[in-house]
Structure 1
């Protein structure tokens, strides 16, 4: 399914900084904005990728996000990122360059 592929690409890119076009980003943004079930699926797909990060990378992410390294860093990252994408707080440009706005959103601010 093409839509699932886009969400998977966005989810993977959210963690791995892959290549996503602005058009596919906006399309996926509308999907997760309008469908709570698709947003959950995207978060879960992101989590599957993010949970494979090295312990050192997870510790670094925990510091950036102001959470305990013992917390579920991958789940928190993916949830905050996709909530920010769905709400429009994270634009394509923010996502692409990991702007200060992107950082604020994943920090829960």
Structure 2
């Protein structure tokens, strides 16, 4: 099944801003929009990568996201990002450039 590698790429891209084409992004967005199981899997794959971030990077993300550094910053980041992608609040351009809209979504606004 070729869908899972695409979700894995998007998941990795969420945290690391990997090379994801607009077509791949739009396809993955439609898949996570229509499949709660795929969205959960994407969040889990994102989390697997994000939790390996350095403590300094996690502290920086906690500040940006307005959460306590004692919380599970990586999990919150991945959930907010994937929810924003699935519900259409984060466009490909927002994702690619980490636009103010992207920042608002990961801040939970």
| Alignment partner, residue 89 of structure 1 | 89
Distance apart, 1:2 and its partner CA: 1.3
Cα RMSD for the two superposed structures: 0.4
Whole-angstrom distance in 1 between the partners of 2:91 and 2:77 = 16
Whole-angstrom distance in 2 between the partners of 1:12 and 1:2 = 16
What is the aligned residue count? 109
| Alignment partner, residue 5 of structure 2 | 5
Name stretches of at least 5 consecutive residues in structure 1 with no aligned partner.
none
1:82-106 Cα distance to aligned partner (Å, 9 max, x none): 0000000000000000000000000
Runs of 4+ in structure 1 deviating by more than 6 angstroms, as ranges, are none
SS in 1 for 2:101: helix
| Alignment partner, residue 99 of structure 2 | 99
Q: What aligned pairs does 1:1-109 form with structure 2 within 5 A after superposition?
A: 1-109=1-109
Distance apart, 1:76 and its partner CA: 0.1
SS in 2 for 1:19: coil
Distance apart, 1:34 and its partner CA: 0.2
Whole-angstrom distance in 2 between the partners of 1:48 and 1:57 = 15
